Amino acid sequence: MRRTSLGRARVVLSGVALLAALLLACSDDANDAAPLSTAVAVADPMPVGDPVAGGGHPLGTLTRFDATVEMDLGEWFVSTETPSVSAGLIRFVARNVGGEVHEFALVEGTSKDGREVIEIEGISAGDGREIGARLQAGRYLLACLIVEVEDGAVEDHFALGMWTEFTVE
């Protein structure tokens, strides 16, 4: 009797996991028509290239992405060779090539005051992290929003130039 209950529990848990994976990987017309404010993170930030079963990038093994945006963060810039992508499930890979701790924030609109859609905090010098989000068409900023006091002076990474425009079509 105990084996049967344990076996059923495994089947139920496997079914729930499969359903969750299918829901993450699929989209429907209702999602495509949703307003910009529906962008959501699909996973917590993960280190870039950490070994996972099957190899490759951690998020790349969890779901199928429509596009990948790689960027470098440093004093005082955010650079990417992918300034625009089509709407869908987007993977962002942020690498800190600078000497200070930075963050990656995807900000809705063209102002620092826009809504922060996703964020990866505390990317140490030489490290990289990645995160995914389902995005609708619109204009965004790829930015570092750290504001800190260094040697008695306020150091606002965004004001120092750590942002670039990004478009989802």
> What confidence tens digit (pLDDT) does each residue in 73-129 have?
999 999 999 999 999 999 999 999 999 999 999 999 999 999 999 999 999 999 999
Residues 11-64 have pLDDT tens digits of 444 444 444 444 444 444 433 333 333 444 555 566 655 433 334 445 555 568
Q: 33 in the Ramachandran plot: left (φ > 0), alpha (ψ -120 to 50) or beta? A: alpha
Nearest CA to 23 out of 65, 63, 68, 67 is that of 63
pTM given for the model? 0.68
Helix/strand/coil percent split, the chain, to 5: 20, 40, 35
**Whole-number Å distance between alpha carbons of 24 and 32:** 14
Correct CATH for 34-168 of 1.10.10.10, 3.20.20.70, 3.40.50.150, 2.60.40.420: 2.60.40.420
- Which residue is listed with tokens 């999602």? 31
Q: Are 136 and 108 in contact (CB under 8 A)?
A: no
